[in-house]
Amino acid sequence: MRGGANPIELRGVGYAYGTGDLARPVLRDVDLTVGPGEIVLLTGPSGSGKTTLLTLIGALRAVQTGSASVLGLQLAGATERQRVELRRRIGFIFQQHNLLGFLTARQNVAMALELDPATSEKERMARAGAMLEAVGIGDRADAPPAKLSGGQRQRVAVARALVGRPGLILADEPTAALDKQSGGEVVRLLRDLAKRQGVPILLVTHDPRILDIADRVVSMEDGRITAAEAGAAAE
Amino acid sequence: MNVLTRTPSAPPPDGELLPWAPERTGGAPPQPPPSGREGPARRTTSFRPLRSLLLPLRLAWRQLRAEKARLASAIAGVMFACVLVFMQLGFRSALFDSATALLQSMRADVFLMHPLTTASFKPETFPRARASQALALPEVQAAVPVYLAQASWRNPENGARRAVQLIGFDTEAGVMDFPGLAPLVDALKRPDAVAFDRRSRPEFGDVAKLLAERGPFEAQIGNRLMEVVGLVEIGPSFGADGNVVLSEVNFRRLVKERQVSAIDLAAIKLRPGADVEAAKRRLAELLPRDVIVLSQPELVAWERRYWEEATPIGFIFAFGSLMGLVVGMVIVYQILFSDIASHLREYATLKAMGYSNWYLGRAVLSAALILAVLGFLPGFGLSFFLYGAVGEATFLPLNMDLERGVGVFLMIFAMCALAGLLAMRKLRDANPADMF
């Protein structure tokens, strides 16, 4: 019933927007495997389907055709409840930080732990604080997002994605809203922390400056995976 | 590679295996299919009602607190609805109470009344003989005919005339007991002596002050000079702004055109220990159909029904209360809706992190209920103050009682909950798949 040991195993995944004659396929017969602890970058022109692929893996959309096993859950035919459960084991990082403006950085990070009934408030705050230390902004833990710089906010978002010790990190252009330097710092931080925790990362990006963090770079075009090459980090 | 242990029940025996597949370590006991599908044991949610209510509540409170101006306007909206409902309900019950003030202060066990009488200020008369016939029953101790009429009272201070309600009956019989009447019984025996209602509206003149200064004094009622000898307590009603109590004989002197044989009410006192319901039934069997037999509460209810059903008063106040609740609901809905709309990205992010629609729904409902409480408390305080101030200015008996307080709170609570449920629909727009 469960997939293999690989965190992500896609076989023949297809996806189309619209139905009937108006159906517009965006993914065709995609096979993709991400191994334990592997950092995979997904690149390609816009409209190539990479973001749709990311939302399918993140259980944010229902799989239409093919088989998709993520963290041991077969997503084809999974219920909404199972998908919500799965999302709790995935760390998401978006283009925008999407932090809650009325919470401090620490409280934002702790939100990722509040769904876990096994944690106490004290434990959540301590873990959130420690994770903010790890991303290098421990001293700003009690500031609201409005008082942080763009790079700092994205670091909080990284901390929020990692604090729940997820089985997988999905990131969508995390550097898009950042300048070159802070963008590079944030993804390297993400890579280092993920490596330390052994968490695989699937990262969609246009940004050629960050290709060097990948174990493997996968290119997509027109809904298909066109090329997979070993990244700079895998040498 | 550093592997973090995520399942206490299934530690990976070696570093090769990753924590999201504990059953593959071989060390983990075979898990039942449902939890096996959902992943490691620490993710299975145990049912903790308190926690699953408190955390959304805290989230809602933090969000409300962050926008002080929005919070203040929401509280003001709820408070407005609260005060409006309190005032409408207060006026409604005050008017009904005051409408029946005269009958409520008539203390007797059983009353006879003409079935066509709809309100005490325009009674149908019935034969005086019915009061005597009632005495045929052994449990009836006394039956007193009551005459009601209106006459003009000339204000002893400035001469202005105003209609006053006259209540004439045998004050000696001790059947009808108005508050304050007992010590005046002897004085009322004198020719042309009357007792004045101290709670009458001030347009009748400050009779209490005059009485205190001069002792019994003369006042013109109808075309006759009567002597005010004391004060009783009845209260103004819809039909009459003031009341005058006098003996049957004095009533006849004052209202000459009234036939003695035609009375408006008969007040009956039963022997101690008699069963009111049984006596009522036997009286109804005994007496002709031109009278109905009512207990005192029934008499009050009869009059009240007239004001509730034959006049638009009840509807007006119910409508006013409803409008207040609708306005309050719209305000709360607007606030909650715009709160969600301006945080759609954040809500979608929370959904992507695994927060369910229902969890966020609980946060929205919590926000609604916080607003209900925060708006009700000052609304209650303001209404309490207004009851005092308005009651003093209008002579209406506005009283805050526990029942009404609880009732209005429940209404406000329901109003906010409904607004929250409506606003929750907006959460569906927070679609995490659109976040990328």
Structure tokens at B390: 């308005």
Question: What are the contacts of B315-322 at 24+ separation with CB within 8 A?
Answer: B317/B88, B317/B89, B317/B91, B317/B92, B317/B95, B318/B88, B318/B92, B320/B84, B320/B88, B321/B84, B321/B85, B321/B88, B321/B89, B321/B411
Single out the residue of B363, B420, B376, B433 nearest to residue B61, CA to CA.
Answer: B363
Q: Which helix (H) or strand (E) holds B241?
A: none
Check residue A235 and give its pLDDT: 44
Least confidently predicted of A24-33, A176-185, A188-197, B3-12: B3-12
DSSP A98: -
> Which positions in chain B touch A72 (Cβ < 8 Å)?
20-21, 39
Q: Which helix (H) or strand (E) holds B432?
A: none
Bridge partners, B71 (sequence order): none
Q: Which residue has the tokens 């059947």?
A: B175
Residues 6+ away with beta carbon under 8 Å from A228:
A216, A217, A218, A219
Distance CA B198, CA B178 (A): 12
The SS3 assignment for B112 reads: strand
User: pLDDT confidence of A195, banded at 50, 70, 90?
Assistant: confident
Distance CA A37, CA A59 (A): 20
Check residue A109 and give its pLDDT: 92
Cα Rg of chain A, angstroms: 18
Distance CA A88, CA A166 (A): 8
Check residue B3 and give its pLDDT: 45
Buried/exposed code over B79-100 (b: 16+ C-beta within 10 A; e: otherwise)? bbbbbbbbbbbbbbbbbbbbbb
Residues 6+ away with beta carbon under 8 Å from B167:
B102, B146, B147, B148, B243, B244, B245, B246
Nearest CA in chain A to B6: A165
Which of A111, A125, A163, A206 to mutate to probe the B interface, most B CBs <10 Å? A111
Check residue A197 and give its pLDDT: 84
What one-letter code names the amino acid at B200?
A: S
Whether A60 and B433 lie within 8 Å, measured CB to CB: yes
Distance CA B145, CA B156 (A): 30
Q: Across residues B313-337, what is the average pLDDT?
A: 89
Whether A196 and B349 lie within 8 Å, measured CB to CB: no
User: pLDDT confidence of B72, banded at 50, 70, 90?
Assistant: very high
Q: Across residues B48-74, what is the average pLDDT?
A: 85
Q: What is the pLDDT of residues A81-109, one digit of tens each?
A: 888 889 889 998 888 878 888 899 999 99
B37 touches chain A (CB under 8 A): yes
ipTM associated with this complex: 0.85
Nearest CA in chain A to B62: A102
A-contacting residues of B 67-126, CB under 8 Å?
A: 67
- The yes-or-no verdict on residue B90 having pLDDT over 60 is yes
Distance CA B286, CA B137 (A): 9
Whether A5 and B65 lie within 8 Å, measured CB to CB: no
- The yes-or-no verdict on residue A144 having pLDDT over 80 is yes
Residue B385, CB half-sphere, CA atoms under 13 Å: how many?
7
Average pLDDT, chain A: 86
Buried/exposed code over B398-428 (b: 16+ C-beta within 10 A; e: otherwise)? bebeeebeeebbebbeebbbebbebbbebbe
Distance CA B318, CA B88 (A): 7
Distance CA B83, CA B79 (A): 6
Single out the residue of B357, B364, B378 nearest to residue B419, CA to CA.
Answer: B364
> Which positions in chain B touch A94 (Cβ < 8 Å)?
349, 352, 435-436
B-contacting residues of A 15-34, CB under 8 Å?
A: none
Whether A198 and B352 lie within 8 Å, measured CB to CB: no
Domains of chain A: which residue ranges? 101-162
Backbone phi and psi for residue B141, each to the nearest 5 degrees, phi listed first: -85, -45
CA dist A122 to B47, B49, B66, B188, Å? 20, 19, 23, 80
Check residue A202 and give its pLDDT: 92
Check residue B21 and give its pLDDT: 40
> Which positions in chain B touch A99 (Cβ < 8 Å)?
346
B392 touches chain A (CB under 8 A): no
User: pLDDT confidence of B144, banded at 50, 70, 90?
Assistant: very high
B65 touches chain A (CB under 8 A): yes
Check residue B376 and give its pLDDT: 94
Q: What is the pLDDT of residues B229-265, one digit of tens each?
A: 999 988 887 778 889 999 999 999 999 888 999 999 9
Bridge partners, B197 (sequence order): B232
Please list the alpha-helical segments (H only) found in B135-175: none
Angle between helix axes B68-99 and B357-394 (nearest 10 degrees) is 50
User: pLDDT confidence of B436, banded at 50, 70, 90?
Assistant: low
- Decide: B325 and B415 in contact? Cβ < 8 Å: yes
Concatenating the DSSP letter of every residue in B27-75 gives -SPPPPHHHHHH-SGGGSPP--HHHHHHHHHHHHHHHHHH-HHHHHHHH
Check residue B91 and give its pLDDT: 87
Q: How do A216-221 and A39-43 pair as beta strands?
A: parallel
Check residue B39 and give its pLDDT: 37
Angle between helix axes A180-197 and A150-163 (nearest 10 degrees) is 10
B343 touches chain A (CB under 8 A): yes
B55 touches chain A (CB under 8 A): yes
Count of other CB atoms within 10 angstroms of residue B151? 19
Structure tokens at B107: 């203390």
Our CA angle for B66, B67, B71, nearest 5°, is 115
Our CA angle for A134, A140, A141, nearest 5°, is 70
- Decide: A7 and A168 in contact? Cβ < 8 Å: yes
Count of other CB atoms within 10 angstroms of residue B62? 15
A192 touches chain B (CB under 8 A): no
Concatenating the DSSP letter of every residue in A9-46 gives EEEEEEEEES-GGG-EEEEEEEEEEE-TT-EEEEE--T
Single out the residue of B158, B149, B183 nearest to residue B251, CA to CA.
Answer: B149
Structure tokens at B35: 């939890």
A103 touches chain B (CB under 8 A): yes
User: pLDDT confidence of A227, banded at 50, 70, 90?
Assistant: confident
- Decide: B78 and B328 in contact? Cβ < 8 Å: yes
Single out the residue of A23, A14, A49, A11 nearest to residue A223, CA to CA.
Answer: A49
Is the Cα torsion angle B240, B171, B213, B153 positive or negative in sign? positive
Whether A103 and B62 lie within 8 Å, measured CB to CB: yes
- Decide: B137 and B254 in contact? Cβ < 8 Å: no
